[in-house]
A and B are shown apart, each in its own frame.
Chain A
Amino acid sequence: MTSDRAKPTKASDDIAIQTFQLTKIFNSLVAVDSIDLNIKRGEIFALLGPNGAGKTTTINMLCCLLKPTGGTATVMGYDVNQQPFKIKELIGVSPQETVISDHLNAQENLNLIGKIHGVSSKELKVRSQQLLETMGLSDRAKDQVRKFSGGMKRRLNIMMALIHNPEILFLDEPTLGLDPQARRAIWEYIVQLKGEKTILLTTHYMDEADFLADRIGIMDKGKLVALGTSTELKTSMLEKHTMIIYAWNLTQKVINEMRSKYAEVTVTNGTMMITDRQLDFKEIVDRLHSSGAIVRSAYMKEPTLDDVFLHVTGKELRE
């Protein structure tokens, strides 16, 4: 399965996860298309993209659930094709669907994963207590989890990925379907792990990637279309600026003048949006004033990840 040009090399010490032209094809659908990725140790890396972009398929190949159709990947230097069980010992996985054992209580669910990973009963007790406390579930530890709310199940889902203290953490949509408060709680916990563990998470929430990730890879249709820190991605957009002006008495004359001068000018309900490579804030405001318009407010729009996404994929990221 290993392609010739991408033979796995001995990963350098600071690389935790590396993919080499990683590809997965289901029947005729290319779910993941030749992805090359390096994730450093201790880094939080977010794969951002709409549903069906190939994020989960990528994670599933990295945690040895799916066999790559082409290319390969290494996790802590172990090849996913050749040493899957070595990798499985090192990783913790929180799948996209909340999968817990319904008729077991929270403690038993944690114990199950812990015991499979060979954690001693003593250590298991300490760790599960810690986790239950941090995640605010200690008073429900002995309740069967089928009675849990969606948020509680989700938290347990993540705890089960952490119980054996893995070096590498795969979090597939960790806050999917949670209310803002519960999302915050999970974010704060993930931030605490920063630097300690290598975390690969997938999300289709911009703010989540922005808040948590050291670096972000944007995926679309199986391809990695952009890669960098949040700031890097946003500044790569800076070749175009957008200025937004709320004003009264905008005359057709001045609107036409702006349109002739700048690449993109739209006016809706007294809001003028101007986009171009170069914009002179003062000049535009002065010109509008002199035309008799009353400028109520004017500002340069900060680029967001949404803009980056729109820019690289040509569409908006929607649920």
Chain B
Amino acid sequence: MRFLALASRNLKETYRDPLALGFLLAFPLVFMLLFGAILSGDTISTYPVGVIDDDNTPLSQAFINEALAEVPALEVSNYDDADTARKDLKFGDLKAYIVIPPGFGEQVSQNWQGKETNIILNITYDESDLMLSEQLISIINAVTRSFARIEIPITINANPIHIETEITFIDFMGPGIIVFGLLILIPTSARIMVRDKEKGFLSRLLTTPARPLDFISGYSLCLIAIAIIQIIIFILAGWLFGMDIVGSLWLAFLIFFLTGLSSIGIGMFVASLSKSENQAEPLCWLFAMPLAMLSGVWFSIEMLPSYLRAIAYAFPYAHTIDASRAVLIRGVGVEAISSDLLFLVGWAVVIFAIGIILFRRSMRS
């Protein structure tokens, strides 16, 4: 098993080099953190909240107009019925709505008289924004307790709903950022391969009976391990920043994995054409940066002219972003993205085949 010996060597060579390892994992992560911080930043100081007063007592009116209205973080508006509020929630005009059930005034008044009574409120909010829901519930909890002059926590019937039409920015950008991470895999792959070429280590190995396929699989196994770790880190970071994961995580992983293979293949292609890291590095970025632009990493490519879109869809990355968005945000299954998946598989196969042919050619000059 020559390729296993080679793969194990390549892995050791990578993880024992702290600088290289740091670059491999930290560089894409820094990007993720940076974009995550920018995109998930909750700079909105007020949450638009709807209120439906089903109790309709002076106390419930006072609660709305005095207690809730006093909270700077809330922008309260009255609704007549829950359906209208729900609609506005879906359109993003509201972050949540509170339904004050009948009996609320009675419960508060009992508490004022010293009898501890449970207070019930119903809150419906958009669950996709994790930070918001937590903040909102604790704010309303605190306001209600101070209004009713009680120590005990009130009962909040939290009713998170998932709103598919309302996609937060991080949901939209998450897959793009992950794809950018996978684009960085192109220079990474090329670097690992061309490093051995430049130092003459490859030449030494070429005097052994190892075959081109052994070398390709030896490098690929190492790079695949790196890709898997990176994808896990990216998804984890995206999730921490509030990226929605509605659909199958495995399916999303598969999409990213196939894309990773294509990046490794392109890296191999570049490595076969270059003699040194100095040649390979700029050549890789020449692939990675335009592809990042074209594939919709930073913005939606709907606005691109059609010929640029055609170029974008000739490479795997635009397909990845489409497919992973569909899976992560809309929760579609494998059948809905089968054509994208097929394209990704085909691309990976073809680029690897080209890599092997080029490598074989570069073996003996």
Instruction: Give 1 or 0 for each of A96-107: 1 = CB within 8 Å of chain B CB.
Output: 010111111000
Q: Which residues does chain B contribute within 8 Å of A88, judged by CB atoms? A: 207-209
Q: Which residues does chain B contribute within 8 Å of A113, judged by CB atoms? A: 208
Instruction: Using A103-B16, A104-B9, A116-B2 as known contacts, say yes or no to A95 and B209 having CB atoms under 8 A apart.
Output: no
Q: Which residues does chain B contribute within 8 Å of A108, judged by CB atoms? A: 9, 12
Q: Give 17 CB contacts A-B under 8 Å.
A: A64-B206, A65-B203, A65-B206, A65-B207, A65-B364, A66-B365, A85-B211, A89-B209, A97-B200, A100-B201, A103-B13, A116-B208, A116-B214, A118-B2, A118-B209, A160-B204, A170-B207
Contact B201 A101 (CB under 8 A): yes
Asked whether A203 is an interface residue with its Cβ less than 8 Å from the other chain, the reply is no
> What distance in Å separates the Cβ of B213 from its nearest Cβ neighbour in chain A?
12
Give Cα A21 to B24, complex, Å: 49
Instruction: Using A67-B365, A104-B12, A116-B209 as known contacts, say yes or no to A99 and B204 having CB atoms under 8 A apart.
Output: yes
| Residue from B205, B207, B365 with most neighbouring chain A CB atoms (10 Å) | B207
Asked whether A112 is an interface residue with its Cβ less than 8 Å from the other chain, the reply is yes
Contact B207 A103 (CB under 8 A): no
Q: Which residues does chain B contribute within 8 Å of A103, judged by CB atoms? A: 12-13, 16-17
- With CB as the reference atom, state the residue of chain B lying closest to A114: B5
> What distance in Å separates the Cβ of A213 from its nearest Cβ neighbour in chain B?
22
Q: Which residues does chain A contribute within 8 Å of B17, judged by CB atoms? A: 103
> What distance in Å separates the Cβ of B211 from its nearest Cβ neighbour in chain A?
7
Give Cα A103 to B16, complex, Å: 6
- Residues on B close to A: CB < 8 A? 1-2, 5-6, 9, 12-13, 16-17, 199-201, 203-211, 214, 364-365
Contact A95 B203 (CB under 8 A): yes
Contact B208 A67 (CB under 8 A): no
Q: Which residues does chain B contribute within 8 Å of A65, judged by CB atoms? A: 203, 206-207, 364
Q: Which residues does chain A contribute within 8 Å of B207, judged by CB atoms? A: 63-65, 88, 91, 93, 95, 170
Q: Which residues does chain A contribute within 8 Å of B199, judged by CB atoms? A: 97, 99
How many of chain A's residues have a CB under 8 angstroms from any CB in B?
Answer: 30
Q: Which residues does chain B contribute within 8 Å of A89, judged by CB atoms? A: 209
- Residues on A close to B: CB < 8 A? 63-67, 84-85, 88-89, 91, 93, 95, 97, 99-104, 108, 111-113, 115-118, 144, 160, 170
Q: Which residues does chain A contribute within 8 Å of B6, judged by CB atoms? A: 112, 116
> What distance in Å separates the Cβ of A32 from its nearest Cβ neighbour in chain B?
14
Contact A115 B12 (CB under 8 A): no
Give Cα A309 to B203, complex, Å: 31
Contact A115 B200 (CB under 8 A): no
Extra inter-chain contacts (4) besides given A95-B200, A103-B13, A116-B2, CB under 8 Å: A88-B208, A95-B203, A99-B204, A170-B207
Q: Which residues does chain A contribute within 8 Å of B203, judged by CB atoms? A: 65, 95, 99
Give Cα A111 to B2, complex, Å: 11
Give Cα A102 to B205, complex, Å: 15
Contact B5 A111 (CB under 8 A): yes
> What distance in Å separates the Cβ of B360 from its nearest Cβ neighbour in chain A?
12
Give Cα A33 to B206, complex, Å: 24
Give Cα A64 to B203, complex, Å: 10
Contact A101 B13 (CB under 8 A): yes
Give Cα A305 to B211, complex, Å: 42
- With CB as the reference atom, state the residue of chain A lying closest to B195: A102
> What distance in Å separates the Cβ of B193 from its nearest Cβ neighbour in chain A?
14
Give Cα A308 to B178, complex, Å: 67
> What distance in Å separates the Cβ of B271 from its nearest Cβ neighbour in chain A?
17
Give Cα A63 to B363, complex, Å: 12
Give Cα A93 to B364, complex, Å: 16
Q: Which residues does chain B contribute within 8 Å of A93, judged by CB atoms? A: 204, 207
Q: Which residues does chain A contribute within 8 Å of B210, judged by CB atoms? A: 116
Q: Which residues does chain A contribute within 8 Å of B200, judged by CB atoms? A: 95, 97, 99
Instruction: Using A65-B207, A93-B204 as known contacts, say yes or no to A116 and B5 having CB atoms under 8 A apart.
Output: yes
> What distance in Å separates the Cβ of B158 from its nearest Cβ neighbour in chain A?
53
Out of B1, B9, B364, B365, name the residue touching A101 (CB < 8 Å). Answer: B9
